[in-house]
Structure 1
Amino acid sequence: MLRALNLTKMFGGLAAIKDVSVTFETGKINAIIGPNGAGKSTFFNLVAGAYKPTSGCIEIDGQDVTHLRCDLIARLGVGRTFQTTNLFDQSTVLDNLIVGHRLRTQSGLWDVLINSSRLQREERRCREKAREALDFVGLSHLENRVIADISQEERKRVAFALALATEPRLVLLDEPAGGVNPEETVGLAALIRKMVDHGLTVCLIEHKMDMIMSMADKIMVLNHGEKIAEGTPEEIKANPIVIEAYLGSDHDAAA
């Protein structure tokens, strides 16, 4: 599904990502871990097209997307959430999600001016897709609530739904469990598994190691922009380089 080859991103003289090569398989939960500043979010921004690499290439399903605009990459089926959940706080949950499927519509300014049948058809479709995504994440009962009035965990689920409304095949989740309690983390982990069960490929960044180790099929570890390890959770937990750089001796003892 996703392949990066010798990916490098320089900011001035600093290598945020340095010669990273990795493959993430279709229909799997793939995780990226590492200390703060390791380059995890930069890697996501490269895959999603928000940043262009200094060198190297990115392939989605065998197609080179290295120099495509982010909207074109999204049309190819890459959806994402962000570390900070930014939504339209004074709009309803449903209105926030209607925006997502507009990526798939064709109506232009003329359609808006004349209120064309195509515009009306596509607006209905956007609303249907928004409701489908909302039902998938378990928040149908909140469709008319204003975003400012819902909880942090519900905002996370709305962000998931917004990504799903774009009809993705690969979903990039940046710290999906950040800022929620352990019980809510379990619920979000179950939602991620549900996404994979419904045919999506997931790649996530997360600092909650219990969550990652219990659900990831494959983990890549970054440190100072470089890939220092990749493998199954069992392989990562036992890797002395990862323990020293990120997991720490306490995790080693617990393992």
Structure 2
Amino acid sequence: MLEIDNLSKRFGGLCAVTGVSTKIEPCKVNAIIGPNGAGKTTFFNLISGMYRPTSGAIRLRGQDVAGLRADQMARLGVARTFQATTLFEGATVLDNLIVGHRLRTRSGLLDVLLRTRRCKAEERACREKARGALNFVGLSNIEERSAGDITQEERKRVAIALALATEPALLLLDEPAGGINPEETDGLAELIRKIATAGMTVCLVEHKMNMIMNLADKIMVLDHGEKIAEGTPAEIRTNQAVIDAYLGSDHADVQ
């Protein structure tokens, strides 16, 4: 799905990501872990088009996409969520999702002003896609609620639904379980696995290790901007470099 070769990003004299190479496996849950300041979010910003890499290659399904803008990456099928979920608070949940599918429409200002046939057809398509995304994440019952009145866990699911409404092939989730309780975390993990089972590729950054170890098919570990390990959860759990840099000896004993 996505191949990253020797990717680096410098901010002045600081190298936030240094020579990282990896592959995001298709139709699987790929995870990125590491201590605070390890370069995880910077790495996400590079592969989603928010940052231009200083050096290195990014290939999406064989196409060189290094340096493309975030909107161009989104049109190619890369969607992402952020640590902080930002919605249009005064709009309904459904209207928030309709905005997401506008990425795939072609109507312009003239279509809107004249209420052309294309405009009406695309509005119907956007609404159907939004309802489908809400149903997929289990929130059909709150479509008419104001986005400002829903719970933190519902906001997390709405953010994922908004990304799904753009019809992505690759979904990047930045700390999707942040700020929610253990029971809600389990439910979110089930949703992420459902997304991968449906044929989408998932890559997530997350600090909740029990969730990652039970969910991910493959894990990459960053420390100080460098990749220090990569493998299955079982391999990562027993990797001494990862234990020393991040997990700690207690976690290595958790099965």
Normalising by the smaller structure, the TM-score range is over 0.9
**Cα deviation code 1:177-217 (max 9, x no counterpart):** 11000000000000001101110000000000000001111
Structure 2 residue aligned with 1:215: 215
Taking structure 1 as reference, are residues 165 and 4 closer, same or farther at Cα in structure 2, changes over 3 Å only?
A: same
TM-score in terms of structure 1 length: 0.98
Question: Which residue of 2 is the match for residue 252 of structure 1?
Answer: 252
Query: Could you tell me which amino acid in structure 1 is paired with residue 95 of structure 2?
Result: D
| Corresponding residue of 1:57 | 57
Query: What amino acid is aligned across from residue 101 of structure 1 in structure 2?
Result: H
Quote the Cα distance in structure 1 between the aligned partners of 2:127 and 2:16.
39
Q: In the alignment, which residue of structure 1 is the partner of 2:38?
A: 38
**Does 2:5 align with 1:5?**
yes
Alignment of 1:1-255 (within 5 A): 1-254=1-254
Question: What is the identity percentage for the equivalent residue pairs of Structure 1 and Structure 2?
Answer: 69
CA distance in 2, matches of 1:28, 1:197: 8
AA aligned opposite 1:245 = A
TM-score, scaled relative to structure 2: 0.98
Structure 2 alignment gaps of length 5 or more: none
Task: Tell me the amino acid that sits aligned with residue 227 of structure 2.
Answer: K
Q: What CA distance in whole angstroms lies between the structure 1 residues aligned with 2:137 and 2:228?
A: 34
Which of 65-74 and 197-206 deviates more? Answer: 65-74
2:89, 2:148 within 8 Å by CA — same for their partners in 1? yes
Counterpart Cα distance in 2 of 1:252 and 1:156: 29
Please tell me the residue identity of whatever aligns with 2:143.
E
- Aligned residue for 1:212, secondary structure, equals helix
Cα contact 2:51–2:67 (8 A) shared by 1: no
Aligned-partner residue type, residue 244 of structure 2: E
Q: CA deviation at 1:253?
A: 4.2
Q: Which whole-Å CA distance do the structure 2 matches of 1:252 and 1:193 have between them?
A: 24
| Distance in 2 between residues matched to 1:36 and 1:91, nearest whole Å | 34
Structural RMSD (CA): 0.8
State the Cα distance separating 1:254 from its structure 2 match. 4.0
Residues 73-103 of structure 1: CA distance to partner in whole angstroms, max 9, x if unpaired? 1111111110111111111100000000000
Give 1:164's aligned amino acid.
L
Aligned partners of 1:68, 1:53: CA distance in 2, in Å?
10
Amino acid of the residue matched to residue 121 of structure 2?
R
